[in-house]
């Protein structure tokens, strides 16, 4: 019975007060919509990233990669036939392309050499790319403005197994360039956007028949990627194991040949040098093997007599070669040529690659004995298959990749070449050879096998024993990596909840007003309950149930409305706010979790607010405490006002006078001014309260007298409006823009003029005379041109432009010495406690084997990689070993954002196959920047060089932050407008409480228009004062920003002020219009 | 001076409250209107004071129909010709007693000279009513009787032609009620103001020159 009564009572009350409740439902729904919308947005972005990742990968589950090395595509066939895996091989290479007709160029592209089953692997049937043609994806077609049948010029790096910077790599190493017809343009469904990288940005893809990327006519191809479909039942270790099982020497460029002289079999590499890990593996599994290293000496000298360009071998100790480290055996031919003999000294000189330079070194040996054609020592096969040398008909036609002084080559040298080819003329111990000529590419040029070891036994010995990691293979579950990167990427839920802070705050304030107004309207009902003996708990329960039902209704409606908010946000992210996401492919998705979370959290906020309000309301009514009338002392206010204004003037003046005002000083000045202006308004009102002798003259004096008793009713809205404007302007002032400081050496550009990237790596040292000669940069006008060349290991962009969580950013290898001497860039954190030490110098410090130092932008460290300075990132070096890079310092915002920087020395050590520099910081004459840019683009046109101002590059990173700030500002303004609507509510509340006053005034002869003016005048003062307080104090607080970058958007400021003022005035007029509509006469009767 | 002809007023919830009511009052008349609760006394007072409009009929004040007045003209009519005294004193708590009394003065723009005259007149009236000592006090600092006397001064400040007192003694004890009644009659007599009092109090009604009863929407003698 009681329950029925309660229910009936509640329902009737709900119906009776439906108009009052409607406000609450709307506000709660709005609150829920914002919260749910933000949560939805986070989910939508995450889902879109996952979807994008999944779409790009197609059916790829596991990626097998050898980085810059190659393996034989037959591995794919064997994995398919022996292990029933669905695989496809792939060659991913650098390059760029150009519309043949218009010249439009795509520099940042992905070129995929594919086999016939690439598209069927991805579930696209009956598609193939005929030889001599290419296919591009829609994005590239749009960018180049091409259609099927059009021709494009593509330039790419050939799949040459010899690293371009390996010793004796031919200088004319092939970088292919050809004109090809576009046979297909692929969309997303046809795997057109295929990508192995982690990024939300749609790539520009070019697909080419694998055969067109390789010159040799062979049945199988060199590739560097292998895609394995799906991940079900497949683990990385399983794939690694079966690759190990199936891997044969030829897969990784190792071949076996038999020496015609010794009859021995030997294993050689198409990379010339054999990696130390592979050497160790072969020797471990085939004990009959021994390593050999053969190198080209520039000269062998005895006194003044010199023999040019001779091969020298390092052989392990044996009966024939029982020599010490200082001894050498020479051939009879050499002894005679030099006119020397056993026991004499000879000096060898040779080129040793140091970075991308060649350093001539020499060593003197004592001749142990002279070889008379012992079998081993007269074997021309000891010379490795140097591509530029082996097939040459004469010495003068060598392309040895080193400077060959042709005038030194004598007829007898040519005769020797004709007869003996590359037969070494001298022999040292292997340990010496390895020490002198071993390099990052390996310690041996061949593994020879003693007598009885035939091809079959070599292959048998290695079957199942070649560790894929030793050959640079890495296996990664890329599907899971992509999902993880998307899941752990930028959290747009939290971001939009933060950005929508003002709207949420305004909703809560509005809700608070609304609940207060509602409770006030039920005052009589509650007093009746009190009079009838209802206990507080019971009254509270009755009111709570009503408001809870309203809260549930509002939160429920809002939670679903949140989807609409989400759609709006997603639409904005794909268009006007695309700077934040760098794509237009984010899709709004529906998920019940945000609905539930938004509903529950809104309900909680609303109910907590109701409970707080209810408690104070009942307490007040029970104690019969209506509004208290009390005088406010102006003395304390005057003291506070004087102190605040004095400090405000001093601090603001200081910040104006100082040449480099600190942000903290200006902010303090602004805050003090804020306090001063608020106290001033308070003084304005309470002064009227105590100044009775002046009397009240006129209507407005009457109005002010009211606020003298209730200064909080004027000060609270002023604080609300002013604080909102203050916060928005302060936040907006953090918009990043280029400042003069950024252009200095210590700034984010490092003082460099250009940031440049090349599609094809540049091998030459561009600061050297030869390098400048090569590219025509030796004019005196260009003498100031200075290059900082960076080697680049591809990775996923870790800058703020990538929404995914990145674990392996691109690694740049550079020589930090020039940065140290220029004092380029600034650091915000370092692991080194020594402040005087330049953190760049840490890069060259050796920590341990396979552990090196790295530097990155602090923003990348914190937000992109989500680590701290001192943490370690693990990469896989080229020889398959884990390489730990300890982040030793964080750069202040710089052009390097998105990259991890290591020293060039370490880079070459761990990634020797990277052929040259792909990233450049270029300094030159600022006044001729445009001409310089054109000149560089033209000189490096074959390399697909993009040149942009370093300042522009730096500014491009600001777009994300600035977009976030725009979003915050716009949502903040909306929130403020909503808050100003709260002023209207406050006014209505005020108005309801003062109805009797207004009624009396009407009775004594005031017209309704006079009453409206009476109410409005102070509300307008409050609104305007709030705007002035917030704007002026914020402008003072942001003086440094205004003076340096001046990047506060004046338009946005004006829009904000105008919209807040307009909405405020509108709301005030709407509220005040109630004066004429309400029957005030009822108020003239006694309560 | 005041003539109400065939005034009718009805409300949705209460039905017909005033039914073809007629009333005539000359300068210096004092009229008591009595009747049970809900009989329409306050409605009649509000209609005379131009705070409400009749459904039909006419109100002539000095031979002019106030029903044709605009909102501003009605406000002026109330300000210059009508002085209200309500059951609840209805003083504004944020104004001093003197400022409350002068509230009608601020409804119109006046010169400094006029303001000074009004201020002087206020002091005079306060002396007359015996509340001089309250001028700088706030309503929440004075008693109910004092507040109601202040209301009377406020009603007189504009030198009105008519004072409409709606249950003026309803909230007062008998001593204060008697005092207020006598003051009302004094003002009626001394200033020649027409006094119309709606009241349940027979004592107060008996002080008036004419006693009418409102019954079934009509005034009966």
Residue A317: phi, psi to the nearest 5? -60, 135
Q: What does the pLDDT read at residue A1086?
A: 45
Q: Helix or strand or coil: residue A62?
A: strand
| Residue B84 with chain A: CB contacts under 8 Å | 1003-1004
Q: What does the pLDDT read at residue A175?
A: 61
Q: Does B106 touch chain A (CB under 8 A)?
A: yes
Task: Judge whether A484 lies within some domain.
Answer: no
**Which residue has 């040398």 as its token pair?**
A389
Q: Does A5 touch chain B (CB under 8 A)?
A: no
* Helix or strand holding residue A727 (H, E): helix A712-732
8 A C-beta contact, residue A161 and residue A222: yes
Task: Judge whether A930 lies within some domain.
Answer: yes
- DSSP class of residue A251 equals G
Cβ–Cβ of B51/A1003 closer than 8 Å? yes
Termini Cα distance of chain A: 33
Query: Cα separations (Å) of A38 from A439, A564, A594, A605, A975?
Result: 56, 11, 9, 16, 14
Q: Dig out the tokens for A959 from the structure.
A: 């777009």
> How do beta strands A110-114 and A205-209 pair?
parallel
Q: Does A708 touch chain B (CB under 8 A)?
A: yes
Nearest alpha-carbon partner for A245 in A465, A471, A473: A465
Q: Does B95 touch chain A (CB under 8 A)?
A: yes
Task: Judge whether A948 lies within some domain.
Answer: no
Are A755 and A728 within one domain?
Answer: no
8 A C-beta contact, residue A292 and residue A315: yes
Are A726 and A775 within one domain?
Answer: no
Q: Does B135 touch chain A (CB under 8 A)?
A: no
The alpha-carbon gap from A594 to the nearest alpha carbon of chain B, in Å, equals: 50
Are A755 and A859 within one domain?
Answer: yes
8 A C-beta contact, residue A923 and residue A784: yes
**Which residue has 């229910």 as its token pair?**
A7
Q: Dig out the tokens for A905 from the structure.
A: 């020395």
Picking from A915, A943, A971, the residue at the C-terminal end of a domain is A943
Q: Helix or strand or coil: residue B101?
A: helix
Assess: ipTM above 0.90.
no
**Taking CA atoms, what residue in A is nearest to B171?**
A1086
Q: Does A697 touch chain B (CB under 8 A)?
A: yes
pLDDT tens track for A549-573: 999 999 999 999 999 999 999 998 8
Listed in sequence order, the residues at least 6 apart from A172 whose beta carbon sits closer than 8 Å to its beta carbon are A388, A399
Distance (Å, rounded) from C-alpha B42 to C-alpha B35?
10
Cβ–Cβ of B78/A1001 closer than 8 Å? no
| Residue A1081 with chain B: CB contacts under 8 Å | 46, 51-52
Considering only the beta carbons, identify the residue of B94, B107, B170 that sits closest to A1010: B107
Considering only the beta carbons, identify the residue of A706, A708, A1081 that sits closest to B51: A1081
C-beta atoms surrounding A631 within 10 Å: 11
> How do beta strands A827-830 and B30-34 pair?
unpaired
* Alpha helices for A840-912 (secondary structure H): 858-859, 904-910
Q: Does B191 touch chain A (CB under 8 A)?
A: no
Task: Judge whether A642 lies within some domain.
Answer: yes
Nearest alpha-carbon partner for B161 in B76, B219, B89, B100: B76
| Residue B51 with chain A: CB contacts under 8 Å | 1002-1003, 1081, 1084
Q: What does the pLDDT read at residue A652?
A: 86
Distance (Å, rounded) from C-alpha A883 to C-alpha A869?
17
Picking from A448, A465, A482, the residue at the C-terminal end of a domain is A465
Nearest alpha-carbon partner for A95 in A137, A160, A166, A153: A153
Considering only the beta carbons, identify the residue of A996, A999, A1086 that sits closest to B171: A1086
Picking from A584, A601, A627, the residue at the C-terminal end of a domain is A627
Are A49 and A124 within one domain?
Answer: no
C-beta atoms surrounding A600 within 10 Å: 14
Cβ–Cβ of B171/A1002 closer than 8 Å? no
pLDDT tens track for B37-78: 888 998 999 899 888 889 999 999 999 999 999 888 888 888
8 A C-beta contact, residue A1026 and residue A1056: no
Say yes or no to pLDDT of B129 above 80.
yes
In a mutational test of the A interface, the residue from B54, B89, B90 whose CB has the highest number of chain A CBs within 10 Å is B90
Are A190 and A309 within one domain?
Answer: no
Which 709-728 residues of chain A touch chain B by CB within 8 A? 709
Task: Judge whether A96 lies within some domain.
Answer: yes
The alpha-carbon gap from A966 to the nearest alpha carbon of chain B, in Å, equals: 45
The alpha-carbon gap from A614 to the nearest alpha carbon of chain B, in Å, equals: 27
Q: What does the pLDDT read at residue A591?
A: 85
Q: Does A1077 touch chain B (CB under 8 A)?
A: no
Q: What does the pLDDT read at residue A91?
A: 93
Considering only the beta carbons, identify the residue of A702, A708, A1005 that sits closest to B79: A1005
| Residue B75 with chain A: CB contacts under 8 Å | 1002, 1005-1008, 1010
In a mutational test of the A interface, the residue from B74, B78, B83, B103 whose CB has the highest number of chain A CBs within 10 Å is B103
**Taking CA atoms, what residue in A is nearest to B137?**
A692
Query: Cα separations (Å) of A902 from A824, A840, A911?
Result: 16, 9, 11
Q: Dig out the tokens for A614 from the structure.
A: 């209810």
Are A119 and A41 within one domain?
Answer: no
| Residue A1085 with chain B: CB contacts under 8 Å | 42, 87-88
Distance (Å, rounded) from C-alpha B217 to C-alpha B198?
14
- Segments forming the whole domain that contains residue A611: 1-54+497-627
Considering only the beta carbons, identify the residue of B84, B94, B108 that sits closest to A1003: B84
Q: Does B8 touch chain A (CB under 8 A)?
A: no
8 A C-beta contact, residue A27 and residue A160: no
Q: Does A851 touch chain B (CB under 8 A)?
A: no
Q: The dihedral of CA A215, A218, A222, A225: what is its sign?
A: positive
**Taking CA atoms, what residue in A is nearest to B72?**
A1007
* Alpha helices for A804-849 (secondary structure H): 816-822
8 A C-beta contact, residue A97 and residue A109: yes
Considering only the beta carbons, identify the residue of A702, A708, A999 that sits closest to B106: A702
| SS3 labels along A370-410 | EECCCCHHHCHHHCCCCCCCCCCCCHHHCCCCCCCCHHHCC
Task: Judge whether A489 lies within some domain.
Answer: no
Task: Judge whether A357 lies within some domain.
Answer: yes
Which domains occur in chain B, in start order? Answer: 2-220 (3.40.50.300)
Are A622 and A636 within one domain?
Answer: no
In chain A, how many H helices and how many E strands? 34, 32
| Residue A705 with chain B: CB contacts under 8 Å | 94-95, 99
Q: What does the pLDDT read at residue A1?
A: 45
| Residue B99 with chain A: CB contacts under 8 Å | 695-696, 705
The alpha-carbon gap from A958 to the nearest alpha carbon of chain B, in Å, equals: 55
Q: What does the pLDDT read at residue A172?
A: 56
Cβ–Cβ of B90/A702 closer than 8 Å? no
Residue A851: phi, psi to the nearest 5? -130, 120
Exposure on the CB side of residue A910, measured as CA atoms within 13 A:
25
8 A C-beta contact, residue A774 and residue A764: yes
Cβ–Cβ of A1003/B78 closer than 8 Å? yes
- CA R_g for chain A: 39
pLDDT tens track for A494-538: 888 888 887 888 888 888 878 887 887 787 778 777 767 777 788
Q: Does A705 touch chain B (CB under 8 A)?
A: yes
| Residue A1079 with chain B: CB contacts under 8 Å | none
Are A776 and A839 within one domain?
Answer: yes
Cβ–Cβ of A701/B94 closer than 8 Å? no
Q: Does A692 touch chain B (CB under 8 A)?
A: yes
In a mutational test of the B interface, the residue from A698, A1004, A1015, A1081 whose CB has the highest number of chain B CBs within 10 Å is A1004
* Helix or strand holding residue B56 (H, E): strand B56-61
Are A276 and A405 within one domain?
Answer: yes
Q: What does the pLDDT read at residue A74?
A: 92
C-beta atoms surrounding A604 within 10 Å: 12
Q: Does B13 touch chain A (CB under 8 A)?
A: no
Q: Does A1001 touch chain B (CB under 8 A)?
A: yes
Q: Which residues pair with A254 in a beta bridge?
A: A269
Cβ–Cβ of A709/B108 closer than 8 Å? no
Distance (Å, rounded) from C-alpha A854 to C-alpha A638?
58
Are A787 and A871 within one domain?
Answer: yes
> How do beta strands B15-25 and B2-11 pair?
antiparallel
Task: Judge whether A474 lies within some domain.
Answer: no
**Taking CA atoms, what residue in A is nearest to B107?**
A1006
Residue ranges of chain A whose pLDDT lies below 50: 1, 626, 689-695, 1086-1087
Chain mean pLDDT for chain B:
88
Q: How many domains does chain A have?
A: 5
State the angle between helix axes of A492-499 and A950-993 in degrees (0 to 180), rounded to the nearest 10.
50
**Taking CA atoms, what residue in B is nearest to A686?**
B94
Distance (Å, rounded) from C-alpha A494 to C-alpha A780?
56
Distance (Å, rounded) from C-alpha A959 to C-alpha B113?
67
Are A154 and A110 within one domain?
Answer: yes
Cβ–Cβ of B107/A1004 closer than 8 Å? yes
Considering only the beta carbons, identify the residue of A708, A1002, A1084 that sits closest to B86: A1084
Q: What does the pLDDT read at residue A583?
A: 82
The alpha-carbon gap from B92 to the nearest alpha carbon of chain A, in Å, equals: 6
Are A761 and A898 within one domain?
Answer: yes
């Amino acid at each position: 019975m009681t329950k029925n009564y309660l229910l009936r009572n509640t329902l009737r009350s709900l119906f009776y007060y439906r108009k009052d409740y409607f406000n609450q439902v709307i506000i709660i729904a709005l609150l829920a919509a914002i919260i749910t919308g933000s949560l939805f947005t986070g989910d939508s972005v995450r889902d879109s990233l996952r979807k994008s990742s999944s779409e790009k990968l197609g059916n790829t589950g596991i990626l097998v990669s050898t980085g810059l090395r190659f393996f034989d595509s037959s591995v794919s066939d064997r994995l398919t036939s022996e292990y029933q895996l669905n695989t496809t091989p792939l060659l991913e290479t650098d390059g760029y392309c150009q519309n043949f007709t218009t010249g439009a160029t795509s520099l940042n592209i992905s070129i995929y050499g594919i086999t016939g089953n690439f598209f069927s692997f991805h579930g696209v049937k009956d598609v193939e790319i005929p030889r001599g043609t290419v296919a591009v994806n829609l994005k590239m077609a749009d960018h180049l403005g091409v259609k099927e049948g059009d021709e494009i010029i593509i330039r790419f790096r050939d799949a040459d197994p010899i690293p371009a910077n390996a010793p004796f790599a031919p200088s004319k190493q092939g970088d292919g360039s050809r004109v090809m017809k576009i046979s297909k343009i692929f969309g997303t469904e046809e795997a057109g956007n295929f990508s192995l990288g982690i990024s939300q940005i749609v790539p520009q893809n070019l697909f080419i028949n694998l055969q067109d990327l390789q010159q040799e006519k062979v049945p199988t191809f060199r590739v560097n990627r292998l895609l394995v479909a799906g991940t079900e039942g497949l683990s990385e270790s399983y794939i690694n194991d079966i690759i190990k099982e199936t891997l044969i020497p030829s897969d990784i460029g190792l071949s076996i040949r038999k020496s015609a002289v010794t009859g021995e079999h030997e294993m050689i590499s198409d990379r010339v040098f054999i990696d130390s890990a592979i050497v160790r593996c072969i020797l471990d599994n085939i004990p009959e093997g021994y390593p050999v290293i053969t190198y080209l000496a520039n000269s062998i000298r005895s006194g003044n007599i010199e023999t040019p360009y001779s091969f020298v071998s390092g052989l392990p100790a044996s009966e024939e070669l029982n020599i010490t480290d200082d001894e050498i055996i020479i051939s009879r031919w050499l002894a005679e040529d030099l006119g020397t003999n056993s026991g004499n000294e000879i000096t060898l000189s040779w080129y040793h690659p140091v970075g991308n330079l060649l350093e001539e070194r020499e060593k003197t040996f004592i001749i142990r004995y002279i070889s008379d054609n012992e079998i081993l020592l007269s074997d021309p096969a000891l010379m490795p298959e140097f591509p530029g040398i082996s097939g040459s008909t004469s010495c003068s036609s060598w392309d040895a990749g080193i400077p060959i002084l042709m005038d030194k080559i004598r007829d007898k040298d040519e005769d020797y070449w004709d007869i003996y080819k590359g037969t070494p003329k001298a022999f040292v111990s292997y340990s010496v050879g390895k020490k002198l000529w071993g390099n990052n590419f390996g310690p041996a040029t061949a593994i020879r096998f003693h007598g009885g070891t035939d091809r079959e036994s070599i292959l048998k010995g290695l079957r199942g024993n070649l560790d894929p990691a030793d050959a640079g293979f890495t296996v990664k579950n890329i599907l899971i990596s992509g999902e993880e990167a998307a899941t752990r990427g930028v959290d747009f839920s939290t971001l939009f909840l933060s950005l929508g802070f003002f709207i949420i705050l305004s909703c809560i304030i509005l809700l608070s007003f609304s609940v207060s107004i509602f409770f006030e309207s039920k005052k009589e009902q509650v007093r009746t309950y009190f009079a009838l003996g209802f206990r507080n708990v019971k009254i509270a329960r009755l009111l709570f149930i009503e408001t809870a039902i309203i809260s549930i209704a509002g939160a429920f409606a809002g939670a679903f409305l949140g989807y609409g908010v989400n759609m709006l946000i997603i639409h904005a992210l794909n268009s006007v706010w695309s700077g934040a996401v760098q794509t237009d492919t984010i899709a709004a998705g529906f998920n019940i979790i945000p609905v539930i979370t938004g509903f529950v959290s809104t309900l909680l906020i609303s109910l907590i607010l109701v409970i707080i309000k209810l408690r104070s309301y009942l307490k007040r009514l029970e104690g019969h405490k209506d509004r208290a009338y009390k005088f406010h002392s102006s003395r304390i206010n005057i003291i506070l006002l004087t102190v605040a204004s004095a400090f405000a003037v001093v601090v603001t003046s200081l910040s104006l006078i100082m040449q480099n005002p600190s942000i903290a000083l200006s902010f303090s000045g602004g805050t003090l001014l804020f306090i001063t202006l608020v106290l001033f308004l308070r003084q304005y009102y309470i002064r009227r309260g105590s100044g009775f002798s002046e009397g009240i003259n006129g209507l407005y004096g009457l109005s002010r007298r009211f606020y003298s008793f209730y200064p909080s009713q004027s000060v609270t809205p002023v604080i609300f409006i002013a604080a909102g404007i203050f916060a928005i302007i302060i936040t907006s002032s953090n918009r990043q823009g280029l400042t003069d400081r950024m252009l200095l050496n210590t700034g984010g550009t490092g003082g460099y003029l250009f940031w440049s990237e090349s599609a094809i790596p540049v091998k030459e040292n561009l600061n050297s005379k030869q390098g400048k000669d090569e590219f025509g940069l030796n004019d005196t006008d260009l003498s100031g041109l200075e290059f900082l060349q960076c080697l680049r290991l591809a990775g996923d962009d870790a800058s703020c432009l990538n929404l995914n969580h990145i674990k392996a950013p691109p690694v740049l290898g550079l020589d930090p010495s020039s940065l140290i001497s220029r004092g380029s860039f600034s650091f915000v954190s370092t692991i080194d406690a020594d402040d005087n030490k330049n953190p760049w110098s840490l890069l060259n410090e050796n920590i341990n084997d396979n552990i090196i130092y790295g530097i990155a932008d602090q923003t990348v460290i914190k937000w992109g990689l989500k680590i701290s300075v001192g943490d370690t990132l693990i990469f896989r070096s080229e020889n398959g070993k884990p390489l730990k890079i300890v982040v030793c310092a964080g750069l202040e915002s710089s052009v390097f954002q998105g990259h991890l920087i290591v020293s060039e020395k370490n880079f070459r050590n761990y990634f020797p196959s990277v052929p040259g520099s792909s990233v450049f910081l270029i300094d030159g004459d600022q006044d001729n920047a445009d001409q310089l840019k054109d000149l560089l683009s033209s000189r490096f046109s074959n390399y697909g060089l993009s040149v942009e101002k370093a300042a522009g590059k730096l500014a491009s990173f600001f777009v994300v932050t600035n977009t976030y700030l725009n979003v915050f500002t716009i949502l903040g303004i909306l929130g403020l407008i909503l808050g100003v609507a709260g002023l209207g509510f406050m006014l209505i509340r005020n108005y309801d409480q003062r109805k009797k006053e207004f009624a009396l005034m009407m009775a004594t002869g005031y017209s309704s228009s006079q009453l409206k003016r009476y109410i409005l005048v102070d509300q307008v003062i409050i609104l305007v004062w709030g705007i002035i307080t917030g704007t002026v104090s914020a402008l003072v607080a942001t003086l440094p920003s205004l003076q340096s970058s001046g990047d506060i958007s004046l338009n946005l400021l004006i829009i904000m002020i105008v919209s807040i003022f307009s909405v405020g005035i509108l709301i005030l007029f709407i509220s005040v219009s109630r004066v004429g509509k309400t029957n005030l006469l009822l108020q003239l009767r006694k309560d | 001076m005041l003539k109400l002809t065939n005034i009718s007023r009805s409300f949705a919830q209460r039905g017909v409250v005033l039914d073809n009511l007629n009333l005539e009052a000359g300068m210096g008349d004092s009229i008591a209107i009595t009747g049970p609760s809900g009989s329409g006394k306050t409605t009649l007072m509000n209609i005379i004071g131009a705070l409400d409009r009749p459904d039909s009929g006419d109100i002539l004040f000095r031979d002019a129909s106030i029903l044709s007045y605009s909102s501003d003209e009605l406000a002026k009519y109330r300000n210059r010709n009508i002085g209200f005294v309500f059951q609840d004193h209805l003083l504004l708590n944020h104004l001093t007693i003197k400022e409350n009394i002068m509230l009608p003065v601020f409804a119109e723009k006046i010169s400094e000279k006029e303001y000074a005259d009004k201020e002087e007149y206020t002091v005079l009236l306060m002396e007359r009513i015996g509340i001089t000592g309250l001028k700088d006090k706030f309503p929440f600092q004075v008693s109910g009787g004092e507040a109601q006397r202040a209301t009377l001064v406020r009603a007189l400040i504009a030198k009105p032609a008519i004072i409409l007192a709606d249950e003026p003694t309803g909230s007062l004890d008998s001593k204060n009620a008697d005092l207020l009644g006598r003051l009302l009659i004094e003002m009626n007599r001394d200033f020649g103001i027409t006094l119309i009092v709606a009241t349940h109090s027979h004592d107060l009604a008996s002080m008036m020159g004419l006693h009418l009863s409102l019954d079934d929407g009509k005034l009966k003698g």
